[in-house]
Structure 1
Amino acid sequence: MRTRAITGFFFIAVLIGAVLLGPYTFVPLFSLIATYCVYEFYRMVYTENTQPLLFWGVGTAAFGLTLVGSILLNLLPYSVLPLSIAAVLLIYVAALFRKTAHPIQDVAFSLFGLMYAAVPFVFFMGLGFVKGTYNAYIPLGFLILLWTNDTGAYLAGRSIGRHKLFERISPNKTWEGFVGGVILAVIAGLILFYYWRVFPLWIWVCMALIISLFGTLGDLVESMLKRNVGVKDSGKLLPGHGGLLDRFDGLLMAAPLVYLFLKSTL
Protein backbone atom coordinates (compact mmCIF):
# COMPACT_ATOMS: atom_id res chain seq x y z
CA MET A 1 0.00 0.00 0.00
CA ARG A 2 2.86 2.39 0.80
CA THR A 3 4.53 1.69 -2.55
CA ARG A 4 1.23 2.24 -4.33
CA ALA A 5 0.68 5.57 -2.55
CA ILE A 6 4.19 6.85 -3.29
CA THR A 7 3.99 5.82 -6.95
CA GLY A 8 0.55 7.39 -7.31
CA PHE A 9 1.68 10.66 -5.75
CA PHE A 10 4.68 11.12 -8.01
CA PHE A 11 2.80 9.93 -11.09
CA ILE A 12 -0.01 12.45 -10.56
CA ALA A 13 2.52 15.19 -9.76
CA VAL A 14 4.33 14.56 -13.06
CA LEU A 15 1.08 14.62 -15.04
CA ILE A 16 -0.16 17.82 -13.42
CA GLY A 17 3.23 19.47 -13.81
CA ALA A 18 3.42 18.57 -17.50
CA VAL A 19 -0.04 20.00 -18.14
CA LEU A 20 0.54 23.24 -16.24
CA LEU A 21 4.03 23.90 -17.60
CA GLY A 22 2.61 24.42 -21.06
CA PRO A 23 2.07 22.78 -24.44
CA TYR A 24 5.75 21.93 -24.94
CA THR A 25 5.68 19.60 -21.94
CA PHE A 26 2.03 18.50 -22.23
CA VAL A 27 2.16 17.27 -25.82
CA PRO A 28 5.50 15.37 -25.68
CA LEU A 29 4.70 13.65 -22.37
CA PHE A 30 1.29 12.37 -23.44
CA SER A 31 2.62 11.38 -26.85
CA LEU A 32 5.21 9.29 -25.03
CA ILE A 33 2.55 7.83 -22.72
CA ALA A 34 0.35 6.91 -25.69
CA THR A 35 3.27 5.24 -27.48
CA TYR A 36 4.09 3.19 -24.40
CA CYS A 37 0.42 2.20 -24.04
CA VAL A 38 0.57 0.77 -27.57
CA TYR A 39 3.66 -1.19 -26.56
CA GLU A 40 1.88 -2.52 -23.47
CA PHE A 41 -1.10 -3.59 -25.57
CA TYR A 42 1.12 -5.53 -27.98
CA ARG A 43 2.95 -7.23 -25.11
CA MET A 44 -0.35 -8.21 -23.50
CA VAL A 45 -1.86 -9.85 -26.58
CA TYR A 46 1.37 -11.43 -27.87
CA THR A 47 1.11 -15.23 -27.98
CA GLU A 48 2.37 -18.05 -30.15
CA ASN A 49 -0.67 -17.63 -32.41
CA THR A 50 -1.03 -13.86 -32.18
CA GLN A 51 2.08 -11.87 -32.96
CA PRO A 52 1.35 -8.20 -33.65
CA LEU A 53 4.04 -6.25 -35.47
CA LEU A 54 5.49 -4.68 -32.34
CA PHE A 55 8.30 -2.71 -33.97
CA TRP A 56 6.16 -1.35 -36.81
CA GLY A 57 3.14 -0.72 -34.59
CA VAL A 58 5.04 1.17 -31.90
CA GLY A 59 7.01 3.03 -34.57
CA THR A 60 3.82 4.02 -36.36
CA ALA A 61 2.31 5.24 -33.08
CA ALA A 62 5.40 7.30 -32.29
CA PHE A 63 5.53 8.75 -35.80
CA GLY A 64 1.82 9.58 -35.96
CA LEU A 65 1.77 11.12 -32.49
CA THR A 66 4.83 13.20 -33.34
CA LEU A 67 3.06 14.53 -36.42
CA VAL A 68 -0.13 15.31 -34.51
CA GLY A 69 1.81 16.93 -31.68
CA SER A 70 3.80 19.06 -34.12
CA ILE A 71 0.58 20.20 -35.77
CA LEU A 72 -0.96 21.11 -32.40
CA LEU A 73 2.16 23.09 -31.54
CA ASN A 74 2.07 24.86 -34.93
CA LEU A 75 5.42 23.38 -35.91
CA LEU A 76 4.02 21.60 -38.96
CA PRO A 77 1.00 22.24 -41.23
CA TYR A 78 -2.06 19.95 -41.33
CA SER A 79 -0.99 18.87 -44.82
CA VAL A 80 1.59 16.47 -43.33
CA LEU A 81 -1.09 14.44 -41.51
CA PRO A 82 -1.62 11.97 -44.41
CA LEU A 83 1.93 10.77 -43.79
CA SER A 84 0.63 9.00 -40.70
CA ILE A 85 -1.80 7.05 -42.90
CA ALA A 86 1.11 6.02 -45.09
CA ALA A 87 2.92 4.76 -41.99
CA VAL A 88 -0.12 2.66 -41.05
CA LEU A 89 -0.20 1.11 -44.53
CA LEU A 90 3.41 0.03 -44.10
CA ILE A 91 2.19 -2.42 -41.45
CA TYR A 92 0.42 -4.37 -44.21
CA VAL A 93 3.62 -4.42 -46.26
CA ALA A 94 5.78 -5.46 -43.31
CA ALA A 95 3.45 -8.40 -42.61
CA LEU A 96 4.20 -9.79 -46.08
CA PHE A 97 7.80 -10.39 -45.08
CA ARG A 98 7.08 -12.13 -41.77
CA LYS A 99 6.79 -15.90 -41.56
CA THR A 100 4.01 -16.23 -39.00
CA ALA A 101 1.06 -18.62 -38.87
CA HIS A 102 -1.68 -15.98 -38.92
CA PRO A 103 -0.44 -12.82 -40.67
CA ILE A 104 -3.88 -11.23 -41.12
CA GLN A 105 -4.64 -11.79 -37.44
CA ASP A 106 -1.30 -10.19 -36.60
CA VAL A 107 -2.12 -7.14 -38.75
CA ALA A 108 -5.58 -6.89 -37.18
CA PHE A 109 -4.16 -6.80 -33.66
CA SER A 110 -1.49 -4.33 -34.76
CA LEU A 111 -4.09 -1.93 -36.14
CA PHE A 112 -6.45 -2.41 -33.21
CA GLY A 113 -3.62 -1.57 -30.81
CA LEU A 114 -3.19 1.79 -32.56
CA MET A 115 -6.91 2.51 -32.52
CA TYR A 116 -7.41 1.39 -28.93
CA ALA A 117 -4.31 2.75 -27.20
CA ALA A 118 -3.02 5.66 -29.33
CA VAL A 119 -5.92 7.43 -31.06
CA PRO A 120 -7.74 8.37 -27.81
CA PHE A 121 -4.67 10.28 -26.65
CA VAL A 122 -4.83 12.36 -29.83
CA PHE A 123 -8.27 13.56 -28.71
CA PHE A 124 -7.03 14.10 -25.17
CA MET A 125 -4.15 16.26 -26.38
CA GLY A 126 -6.65 18.07 -28.59
CA LEU A 127 -8.55 19.09 -25.45
CA GLY A 128 -5.73 21.42 -24.60
CA PHE A 129 -6.28 23.30 -27.86
CA VAL A 130 -10.04 22.92 -28.22
CA LYS A 131 -10.56 26.69 -27.83
CA GLY A 132 -7.88 27.57 -30.38
CA THR A 133 -4.93 28.27 -28.10
CA TYR A 134 -3.51 26.09 -25.38
CA ASN A 135 -5.47 26.11 -22.12
CA ALA A 136 -4.07 23.85 -19.43
CA TYR A 137 -7.23 23.92 -17.34
CA ILE A 138 -9.24 21.90 -19.86
CA PRO A 139 -7.10 18.71 -19.99
CA LEU A 140 -6.31 19.13 -16.28
CA GLY A 141 -10.02 19.43 -15.55
CA PHE A 142 -10.61 16.26 -17.54
CA LEU A 143 -8.02 14.39 -15.48
CA ILE A 144 -9.44 15.71 -12.20
CA LEU A 145 -12.94 14.58 -13.17
CA LEU A 146 -11.58 11.18 -14.20
CA TRP A 147 -9.69 10.78 -10.93
CA THR A 148 -12.57 11.95 -8.74
CA ASN A 149 -14.91 9.53 -10.51
CA ASP A 150 -12.49 6.67 -9.80
CA THR A 151 -12.11 7.80 -6.19
CA GLY A 152 -15.86 8.14 -5.63
CA ALA A 153 -16.51 4.75 -7.19
CA TYR A 154 -13.85 3.12 -5.00
CA LEU A 155 -15.03 4.70 -1.75
CA ALA A 156 -18.73 4.08 -2.37
CA GLY A 157 -18.12 0.57 -3.63
CA ARG A 158 -16.01 -0.36 -0.60
CA SER A 159 -18.42 1.13 1.93
CA ILE A 160 -21.93 0.43 0.60
CA GLY A 161 -21.44 -1.63 -2.56
CA ARG A 162 -23.88 -4.53 -2.77
CA HIS A 163 -25.17 -4.90 -6.32
CA LYS A 164 -22.67 -6.02 -8.93
CA LEU A 165 -22.30 -3.79 -11.97
CA PHE A 166 -20.73 -6.29 -14.38
CA GLU A 167 -19.66 -9.28 -12.32
CA ARG A 168 -18.58 -11.42 -15.29
CA ILE A 169 -15.99 -8.82 -16.32
CA SER A 170 -15.10 -6.99 -13.10
CA PRO A 171 -16.38 -8.67 -9.91
CA ASN A 172 -15.46 -5.74 -7.63
CA LYS A 173 -17.45 -3.04 -9.40
CA THR A 174 -20.91 -2.23 -8.05
CA TRP A 175 -23.82 -0.01 -9.00
CA GLU A 176 -23.40 1.85 -5.72
CA GLY A 177 -19.78 2.52 -6.64
CA PHE A 178 -20.79 3.75 -10.08
CA VAL A 179 -23.33 6.18 -8.59
CA GLY A 180 -20.79 7.34 -6.00
CA GLY A 181 -18.30 8.04 -8.78
CA VAL A 182 -20.85 10.07 -10.73
CA ILE A 183 -21.81 12.14 -7.69
CA LEU A 184 -18.21 12.95 -6.73
CA ALA A 185 -17.30 13.81 -10.34
CA VAL A 186 -20.28 16.19 -10.61
CA ILE A 187 -19.27 17.84 -7.32
CA ALA A 188 -15.74 18.21 -8.70
CA GLY A 189 -17.23 19.79 -11.84
CA LEU A 190 -19.07 22.35 -9.70
CA ILE A 191 -15.82 23.21 -7.90
CA LEU A 192 -13.89 23.52 -11.17
CA PHE A 193 -16.52 25.90 -12.51
CA TYR A 194 -16.32 28.06 -9.40
CA TYR A 195 -12.52 28.43 -9.53
CA TRP A 196 -11.66 28.31 -13.23
CA ARG A 197 -14.65 29.64 -15.22
CA VAL A 198 -13.28 28.10 -18.41
CA PHE A 199 -16.74 26.80 -19.33
CA PRO A 200 -20.31 27.43 -18.22
CA LEU A 201 -21.52 25.27 -15.35
CA TRP A 202 -23.62 23.00 -17.56
CA ILE A 203 -20.60 22.06 -19.68
CA TRP A 204 -18.58 21.03 -16.62
CA VAL A 205 -21.52 18.94 -15.40
CA CYS A 206 -21.93 17.29 -18.82
CA MET A 207 -18.20 16.58 -18.92
CA ALA A 208 -18.45 14.95 -15.50
CA LEU A 209 -21.34 12.76 -16.66
CA ILE A 210 -19.61 11.73 -19.90
CA ILE A 211 -16.38 10.91 -18.08
CA SER A 212 -18.21 8.97 -15.35
CA LEU A 213 -20.18 6.84 -17.80
CA PHE A 214 -17.61 6.23 -20.50
CA GLY A 215 -14.66 6.19 -18.12
CA THR A 216 -16.35 3.28 -16.35
CA LEU A 217 -17.01 1.57 -19.68
CA GLY A 218 -13.36 2.07 -20.63
CA ASP A 219 -12.32 0.43 -17.38
CA LEU A 220 -14.63 -2.51 -18.07
CA VAL A 221 -13.34 -2.91 -21.62
CA GLU A 222 -9.74 -3.07 -20.41
CA SER A 223 -10.79 -5.60 -17.75
CA MET A 224 -12.40 -7.65 -20.52
CA LEU A 225 -9.18 -7.44 -22.55
CA LYS A 226 -7.04 -8.57 -19.61
CA ARG A 227 -9.38 -11.47 -18.86
CA ASN A 228 -9.33 -12.45 -22.52
CA VAL A 229 -5.52 -12.69 -22.59
CA GLY A 230 -5.15 -13.94 -19.01
CA VAL A 231 -3.15 -11.15 -17.37
CA LYS A 232 -3.72 -9.23 -14.14
CA ASP A 233 -2.08 -5.94 -15.15
CA SER A 234 -1.19 -4.36 -18.48
CA GLY A 235 2.42 -3.97 -17.35
CA LYS A 236 4.79 -3.35 -14.44
CA LEU A 237 5.97 0.17 -15.13
CA LEU A 238 4.21 1.68 -12.10
CA PRO A 239 4.90 -0.27 -8.87
CA GLY A 240 1.65 -1.02 -7.11
CA HIS A 241 -0.44 0.24 -10.02
CA GLY A 242 0.44 -2.01 -12.94
CA GLY A 243 0.97 -0.47 -16.36
CA LEU A 244 0.04 2.79 -18.04
CA LEU A 245 -2.99 1.25 -19.72
CA ASP A 246 -4.30 0.36 -16.27
CA ARG A 247 -4.04 4.04 -15.26
CA PHE A 248 -5.57 5.46 -18.44
CA ASP A 249 -8.23 2.88 -19.30
CA GLY A 250 -11.02 5.36 -18.48
CA LEU A 251 -9.47 8.01 -20.71
CA LEU A 252 -9.51 5.74 -23.76
CA MET A 253 -13.28 5.94 -24.20
CA ALA A 254 -14.03 9.22 -22.46
CA ALA A 255 -11.49 11.55 -24.10
CA PRO A 256 -12.78 11.26 -27.71
CA LEU A 257 -16.38 11.81 -26.60
CA VAL A 258 -15.54 14.78 -24.37
CA TYR A 259 -13.55 16.35 -27.23
CA LEU A 260 -16.42 15.88 -29.68
CA PHE A 261 -18.87 17.23 -27.12
CA LEU A 262 -16.79 20.37 -26.58
CA LYS A 263 -16.23 20.91 -30.30
CA SER A 264 -19.99 20.72 -30.90
CA THR A 265 -20.84 23.20 -28.13
CA LEU A 266 -18.10 25.82 -28.28
Structure 2
Amino acid sequence: MKTRAITGFFFILVLIGAVLLGPYAFVSLFSLLAICCVYEFYRMVHTENIQPLLFWGVGVAAFGLVLVGSILLGLLPYSMLPFSIVAVLLLYIAALFRKTVHPIQDVAYSLFGLIYAAIPFIFFMSLGFVEDTYNAYIPLGFLIILWTNDTGAYLAGRSMGRHKLFERISPNKTWEGFVGGVILAVIAGFILSHYFGFLPLWSWVCMSLIVGIFGTLGDLVESMLKRNVGVKDSGNLLPGHGGLLDRFDGLLIAAPLVYLFLKNML
Protein backbone atom coordinates (compact mmCIF):
# COMPACT_ATOMS: atom_id res chain seq x y z
CA MET A 1 0.00 0.00 0.00
CA LYS A 2 2.88 2.36 0.83
CA THR A 3 4.54 1.68 -2.54
CA ARG A 4 1.22 2.23 -4.31
CA ALA A 5 0.67 5.56 -2.54
CA ILE A 6 4.19 6.85 -3.27
CA THR A 7 4.02 5.81 -6.92
CA GLY A 8 0.57 7.34 -7.34
CA PHE A 9 1.61 10.62 -5.71
CA PHE A 10 4.66 11.17 -7.92
CA PHE A 11 2.87 9.97 -11.06
CA ILE A 12 0.04 12.47 -10.51
CA LEU A 13 2.60 15.18 -9.77
CA VAL A 14 4.35 14.53 -13.10
CA LEU A 15 1.07 14.58 -15.03
CA ILE A 16 -0.11 17.83 -13.44
CA GLY A 17 3.30 19.39 -13.95
CA ALA A 18 3.34 18.50 -17.66
CA VAL A 19 -0.14 19.99 -18.15
CA LEU A 20 0.72 23.24 -16.38
CA LEU A 21 4.21 23.68 -17.86
CA GLY A 22 2.78 24.53 -21.25
CA PRO A 23 1.77 23.02 -24.60
CA TYR A 24 5.17 21.52 -25.49
CA ALA A 25 5.56 19.67 -22.19
CA PHE A 26 1.91 18.58 -22.32
CA VAL A 27 2.04 17.21 -25.86
CA SER A 28 5.48 15.62 -25.38
CA LEU A 29 4.63 13.73 -22.19
CA PHE A 30 1.24 12.45 -23.27
CA SER A 31 2.56 11.45 -26.70
CA LEU A 32 5.26 9.43 -24.94
CA LEU A 33 2.66 7.87 -22.61
CA ALA A 34 0.50 6.93 -25.59
CA ILE A 35 3.45 5.25 -27.35
CA CYS A 36 4.23 3.33 -24.16
CA CYS A 37 0.58 2.28 -23.87
CA VAL A 38 0.63 0.91 -27.42
CA TYR A 39 3.81 -1.04 -26.65
CA GLU A 40 2.24 -2.29 -23.41
CA PHE A 41 -0.88 -3.41 -25.27
CA TYR A 42 1.13 -5.41 -27.81
CA ARG A 43 3.16 -7.06 -25.05
CA MET A 44 0.00 -7.87 -23.12
CA VAL A 45 -1.86 -9.59 -25.97
CA HIS A 46 1.19 -11.37 -27.42
CA THR A 47 0.85 -15.16 -27.37
CA GLU A 48 1.99 -18.05 -29.54
CA ASN A 49 -1.05 -17.51 -31.79
CA ILE A 50 -1.32 -13.72 -31.51
CA GLN A 51 1.79 -11.84 -32.62
CA PRO A 52 1.08 -8.15 -33.26
CA LEU A 53 3.52 -6.22 -35.42
CA LEU A 54 5.19 -4.66 -32.38
CA PHE A 55 7.97 -2.75 -34.13
CA TRP A 56 5.74 -1.47 -36.94
CA GLY A 57 2.78 -0.76 -34.66
CA VAL A 58 4.81 1.24 -32.17
CA GLY A 59 6.51 3.04 -35.07
CA VAL A 60 3.18 3.99 -36.64
CA ALA A 61 1.90 5.17 -33.25
CA ALA A 62 5.01 7.29 -32.71
CA PHE A 63 4.79 8.78 -36.21
CA GLY A 64 1.09 9.58 -35.84
CA LEU A 65 1.47 11.12 -32.40
CA VAL A 66 4.43 13.27 -33.41
CA LEU A 67 2.51 14.37 -36.50
CA VAL A 68 -0.68 15.23 -34.61
CA GLY A 69 1.28 16.85 -31.79
CA SER A 70 3.14 19.04 -34.29
CA ILE A 71 -0.17 20.05 -35.87
CA LEU A 72 -1.67 20.93 -32.46
CA LEU A 73 1.41 23.01 -31.62
CA GLY A 74 1.12 24.85 -34.94
CA LEU A 75 4.37 23.47 -36.31
CA LEU A 76 2.70 21.68 -39.22
CA PRO A 77 -0.48 22.36 -41.22
CA TYR A 78 -3.57 20.14 -40.94
CA SER A 79 -3.00 19.09 -44.55
CA MET A 80 -0.27 16.77 -43.25
CA LEU A 81 -2.76 14.67 -41.26
CA PRO A 82 -3.56 12.16 -44.08
CA PHE A 83 0.05 10.94 -43.93
CA SER A 84 -0.81 9.21 -40.64
CA ILE A 85 -3.35 7.08 -42.55
CA VAL A 86 -0.68 6.12 -45.07
CA ALA A 87 1.54 4.99 -42.19
CA VAL A 88 -1.28 2.77 -40.87
CA LEU A 89 -1.67 1.13 -44.28
CA LEU A 90 1.98 0.09 -44.14
CA LEU A 91 1.00 -2.42 -41.44
CA TYR A 92 -0.78 -4.50 -44.09
CA ILE A 93 2.33 -4.57 -46.27
CA ALA A 94 4.65 -5.33 -43.34
CA ALA A 95 2.56 -8.41 -42.51
CA LEU A 96 3.44 -9.88 -45.93
CA PHE A 97 7.06 -10.24 -44.87
CA ARG A 98 6.33 -12.09 -41.62
CA LYS A 99 6.02 -15.86 -41.45
CA THR A 100 3.31 -16.18 -38.80
CA VAL A 101 0.39 -18.59 -38.55
CA HIS A 102 -2.37 -15.97 -38.48
CA PRO A 103 -1.12 -12.83 -40.28
CA ILE A 104 -4.55 -11.21 -40.64
CA GLN A 105 -5.25 -11.75 -36.96
CA ASP A 106 -1.86 -10.18 -36.18
CA VAL A 107 -2.73 -7.14 -38.28
CA ALA A 108 -6.14 -6.90 -36.60
CA TYR A 109 -4.57 -6.81 -33.14
CA SER A 110 -1.98 -4.31 -34.36
CA LEU A 111 -4.70 -1.98 -35.62
CA PHE A 112 -6.78 -2.47 -32.49
CA GLY A 113 -3.77 -1.47 -30.39
CA LEU A 114 -3.61 1.85 -32.24
CA ILE A 115 -7.36 2.44 -31.94
CA TYR A 116 -7.53 1.43 -28.30
CA ALA A 117 -4.30 2.82 -26.85
CA ALA A 118 -3.15 5.70 -29.11
CA ILE A 119 -6.13 7.51 -30.64
CA PRO A 120 -7.79 8.31 -27.26
CA PHE A 121 -4.61 10.14 -26.21
CA ILE A 122 -4.83 12.23 -29.37
CA PHE A 123 -8.33 13.30 -28.32
CA PHE A 124 -7.10 14.00 -24.79
CA MET A 125 -4.24 16.16 -26.07
CA SER A 126 -6.72 17.94 -28.32
CA LEU A 127 -8.69 18.94 -25.21
CA GLY A 128 -5.90 21.39 -24.46
CA PHE A 129 -6.46 23.05 -27.84
CA VAL A 130 -10.24 22.78 -28.11
CA GLU A 131 -10.40 26.59 -28.15
CA ASP A 132 -7.54 26.72 -30.72
CA THR A 133 -5.09 28.27 -28.23
CA TYR A 134 -3.69 26.11 -25.43
CA ASN A 135 -5.75 26.04 -22.24
CA ALA A 136 -4.17 23.81 -19.59
CA TYR A 137 -7.22 23.86 -17.33
CA ILE A 138 -9.48 21.78 -19.58
CA PRO A 139 -7.24 18.65 -19.62
CA LEU A 140 -6.36 19.35 -15.97
CA GLY A 141 -10.05 19.49 -15.10
CA PHE A 142 -10.62 16.26 -17.01
CA LEU A 143 -7.89 14.50 -15.01
CA ILE A 144 -9.20 15.83 -11.69
CA ILE A 145 -12.72 14.61 -12.50
CA LEU A 146 -11.38 11.23 -13.61
CA TRP A 147 -9.38 10.76 -10.42
CA THR A 148 -12.31 11.98 -8.31
CA ASN A 149 -14.59 9.46 -9.99
CA ASP A 150 -12.13 6.65 -9.23
CA THR A 151 -11.87 7.75 -5.60
CA GLY A 152 -15.64 8.05 -5.17
CA ALA A 153 -16.21 4.64 -6.74
CA TYR A 154 -13.63 3.05 -4.46
CA LEU A 155 -14.97 4.63 -1.27
CA ALA A 156 -18.64 3.99 -2.06
CA GLY A 157 -17.92 0.46 -3.22
CA ARG A 158 -15.95 -0.38 -0.09
CA SER A 159 -18.50 1.07 2.31
CA MET A 160 -21.84 0.34 0.61
CA GLY A 161 -21.16 -2.03 -2.29
CA ARG A 162 -23.72 -4.84 -2.44
CA HIS A 163 -24.94 -5.21 -6.02
CA LYS A 164 -22.43 -6.33 -8.64
CA LEU A 165 -22.06 -4.19 -11.76
CA PHE A 166 -20.47 -6.66 -14.20
CA GLU A 167 -19.46 -9.59 -12.01
CA ARG A 168 -18.23 -11.76 -14.88
CA ILE A 169 -15.86 -8.94 -15.95
CA SER A 170 -14.84 -7.31 -12.65
CA PRO A 171 -16.13 -8.99 -9.48
CA ASN A 172 -15.20 -6.06 -7.22
CA LYS A 173 -17.16 -3.35 -9.02
CA THR A 174 -20.65 -2.56 -7.73
CA TRP A 175 -23.57 -0.35 -8.70
CA GLU A 176 -23.13 1.54 -5.44
CA GLY A 177 -19.52 2.26 -6.33
CA PHE A 178 -20.51 3.33 -9.83
CA VAL A 179 -23.14 5.77 -8.54
CA GLY A 180 -20.83 7.06 -5.80
CA GLY A 181 -18.10 7.73 -8.34
CA VAL A 182 -20.43 9.65 -10.66
CA ILE A 183 -21.83 11.73 -7.77
CA LEU A 184 -18.36 12.69 -6.53
CA ALA A 185 -17.29 13.48 -10.11
CA VAL A 186 -20.28 15.84 -10.50
CA ILE A 187 -19.39 17.51 -7.19
CA ALA A 188 -15.86 18.00 -8.54
CA GLY A 189 -17.39 19.52 -11.67
CA PHE A 190 -19.33 22.03 -9.55
CA ILE A 191 -16.14 23.03 -7.72
CA LEU A 192 -14.13 23.31 -10.94
CA SER A 193 -16.78 25.57 -12.48
CA HIS A 194 -16.13 27.99 -9.63
CA TYR A 195 -12.36 28.13 -10.15
CA PHE A 196 -12.22 27.50 -13.92
CA GLY A 197 -15.03 29.83 -14.96
CA PHE A 198 -14.21 29.91 -18.67
CA LEU A 199 -16.73 27.06 -19.09
CA PRO A 200 -20.28 27.39 -17.75
CA LEU A 201 -21.48 25.25 -14.85
CA TRP A 202 -23.65 23.00 -17.01
CA SER A 203 -20.66 22.19 -19.24
CA TRP A 204 -18.58 21.04 -16.27
CA VAL A 205 -21.51 18.97 -14.99
CA CYS A 206 -22.02 17.32 -18.40
CA MET A 207 -18.29 16.72 -18.66
CA SER A 208 -18.35 15.12 -15.20
CA LEU A 209 -21.24 12.85 -16.16
CA ILE A 210 -19.44 11.73 -19.32
CA VAL A 211 -16.22 11.03 -17.42
CA GLY A 212 -18.04 9.33 -14.54
CA ILE A 213 -20.11 7.02 -16.73
CA PHE A 214 -17.74 6.28 -19.59
CA GLY A 215 -14.61 6.34 -17.43
CA THR A 216 -16.09 3.43 -15.47
CA LEU A 217 -17.02 1.64 -18.69
CA GLY A 218 -13.45 2.16 -19.93
CA ASP A 219 -12.20 0.51 -16.76
CA LEU A 220 -14.53 -2.44 -17.39
CA VAL A 221 -13.45 -2.75 -21.03
CA GLU A 222 -9.81 -2.98 -19.95
CA SER A 223 -10.75 -5.59 -17.35
CA MET A 224 -12.51 -7.53 -20.12
CA LEU A 225 -9.39 -7.28 -22.28
CA LYS A 226 -7.11 -8.51 -19.48
CA ARG A 227 -9.50 -11.36 -18.67
CA ASN A 228 -9.57 -12.29 -22.36
CA VAL A 229 -5.77 -12.58 -22.59
CA GLY A 230 -5.37 -14.00 -19.07
CA VAL A 231 -3.32 -11.33 -17.29
CA LYS A 232 -3.83 -9.54 -13.97
CA ASP A 233 -2.15 -6.23 -14.89
CA SER A 234 -1.43 -4.62 -18.25
CA GLY A 235 2.22 -4.22 -17.23
CA ASN A 236 4.54 -3.56 -14.31
CA LEU A 237 5.90 -0.10 -15.07
CA LEU A 238 4.22 1.52 -12.06
CA PRO A 239 5.01 -0.31 -8.79
CA GLY A 240 1.79 -1.07 -6.91
CA HIS A 241 -0.39 0.09 -9.80
CA GLY A 242 0.44 -2.27 -12.66
CA GLY A 243 0.84 -0.80 -16.11
CA LEU A 244 0.00 2.49 -17.81
CA LEU A 245 -3.18 1.09 -19.35
CA ASP A 246 -4.35 0.22 -15.83
CA ARG A 247 -3.99 3.90 -14.90
CA PHE A 248 -5.48 5.37 -18.08
CA ASP A 249 -8.28 2.88 -18.76
CA GLY A 250 -10.96 5.44 -17.90
CA LEU A 251 -9.43 8.03 -20.22
CA LEU A 252 -9.52 5.73 -23.25
CA ILE A 253 -13.28 5.98 -23.75
CA ALA A 254 -14.10 9.19 -21.89
CA ALA A 255 -11.55 11.53 -23.55
CA PRO A 256 -12.87 11.22 -27.14
CA LEU A 257 -16.46 11.77 -25.93
CA VAL A 258 -15.55 14.79 -23.80
CA TYR A 259 -13.64 16.31 -26.73
CA LEU A 260 -16.60 15.84 -29.10
CA PHE A 261 -18.94 17.34 -26.49
CA LEU A 262 -16.77 20.42 -25.91
CA LYS A 263 -15.95 20.90 -29.60
CA ASN A 264 -19.62 21.00 -30.48
CA MET A 265 -20.48 23.19 -27.50
CA LEU A 266 -17.79 25.87 -27.87
- Provide the aligned C-alpha RMSD in A: 0.5
2: distance between equivalents of 1:168 and 1:33? 30
Q: 1:73 corresponds to which residue?
A: 73
Deviations 1:40-99 (A, max 9, x none): 100011001010000000000000000000000001111111111111111101000000
Q: 5+ unaligned residues in a row in structure 2: which ranges?
A: none
Distance 2:59 2:172 in 1: 36
Q: Secondary structure in 2 aligned to 1:122? A: helix
* Partner-residue secondary structure (3-state), 1:10: helix
Equivalent residue, structure 1, for 2:190: 190
Report if the CA contact (8 A) 1:153-1:181 is conserved: yes
Tell me, yes or no, if structure 1 residue 95 matches structure 2 residue 73.
Answer: no
- 1:20 and 2:20 aligned: yes
The 5 A counterparts of 1:201-240 are: 201-240=201-240
Amino acid at match of 2:184: L
How far off its partner does 1:193 sit?
0.5
Instruction: Name the residue aligned to 2:111.
Output: 111
Measured in 2, the distance between the counterparts of 1:141 and 1:25 equals: 17
Match of 2:59 in 1: 59
Kindly state the Cα deviation for residue 198 of structure 1 after the two structures are TM-superposed.
Answer: 2.1
The count of residues paired between Structure 1 and Structure 2 equals 266
Supply the distance in 1 between the matched residues of 2:196 and 2:140 (Cα, whole angstroms).
Answer: 11
SS in 2 for 1:105: helix
Q: Distance in 2 between matches of 1:193 and 1:86?
A: 41
Question: d(CA) in 1 for partners of 2:188 and 2:198?
Answer: 14
Provide the C-alpha distance between the structure 2 equivalents of 1:230 and 1:198, rounded to a whole number of angstroms: 45
Give the secondary-structure state (helix, strand or coil) at the position aligned to 2:34.
helix
Partner of 2:243: 243
TM-score, length-normalised on structure 1? 0.99
Between the aligned partners of 2:150 and 2:80, the Cα distance in structure 1 is: 38
Percent of residue pairs identical: 84
Q: Does the aligned pair in 2 maintain the 1:137–1:198 contact within 8 Å?
A: no
**Deviation string, structure 1 residues 141-194 (Cα, Å, up to 9, x no partner):** 000000000000000000111000110000000000011101100110010011
**Stretches (4+) displaced over 3 A:** none
Name the structure 1 match of 2:130. 130
